[in-house]
Structure 1
């Protein structure tokens, strides 16, 4: 019986994975992301849950995960950014999938992802590249770096794309 190869300890763990993934991305500073957004790139706030409905009342509940959209931190969102739940992101951006968002029309589209700190967005951007969206990337430092740089934020509700 053959045994699986053992990954050396220094190459294990979430941070090791993150470093390997980021080596394949052309990550952007918040200022670079704003310039690319102005030139037509699509900014996307990726979160594991946008909101969830309370089963008893149907009310919308802040799950505390929407750092860039006025939930969880009290901060605003990035004007013009779309909010797409991380769990459905690949399907919403696949130009060949029937449940894609209207903006997902080209495999060469430039998608710039962000989350609160820039961890989940790096993994998501790498995943999109693996499926053929070769220009996907993310913002170094995420929404917090964007806000700290003094770039435009909005208190308006996010353009959520479930």
Structure 2
């Protein structure tokens, strides 16, 4: 059965609970690992989320496999809560489902990705490295 990528993503998203930016920030405060899978050009353009691990998408499964020799130091358990973040929340869905297939039952993704995080006014470290919060509008 052929289906579009949008149909495929919609079907995958019924298999787990995605987080909005406030929920993702709360999960991070409670110990979830935020994982930014955006490629370097986007991080260089838009900045990063303070405290998020940077893992290129093509290395994600190796870095988050608790039994792997190439895992991140923080990844010690299959039940580690993980929030995958891409630019707009599309590639992160595919990544979260891939992590589920590896047994990482606590994996999810950020709906709307980095752009939603930034639009929500959550902390961002710009490319110059100085963490900021967006200035609220006057009036």
Give me the TM-score of the superposition, normalised by structure 2.
Answer: 0.87
1:1-162 matches, within 5 Å, as 7=1, 12-47=3-38, 49-50=39-40, 64=41, 66=42, 69=43, 71=44, 74-155=45-126, 156=129
- Count residues with an aligned counterpart: 128
Partner secondary structure for residue 143 of structure 1: helix
Going by fraction, where is strand more abundant, 1 or 2?
1
Q: Which runs of 4+ in 1 moved over 3 A?
A: none
Work out which of the two has the higher radius of gyration on C-alpha atoms and give 1 or 2.
1
- Where does the alignment leave 5 or more consecutive residues of structure 1 unmatched? 1-6, 51-63, 158-162
Partner secondary structure for residue 43 of structure 1: strand
- Where does the alignment leave 5 or more consecutive residues of structure 2 unmatched? 131-139
Give me the TM-score of the superposition, normalised by structure 1.
Answer: 0.75
Going by fraction, where is helix more abundant, 1 or 2?
2
RMSD between aligned alpha carbons?
Answer: 1.4
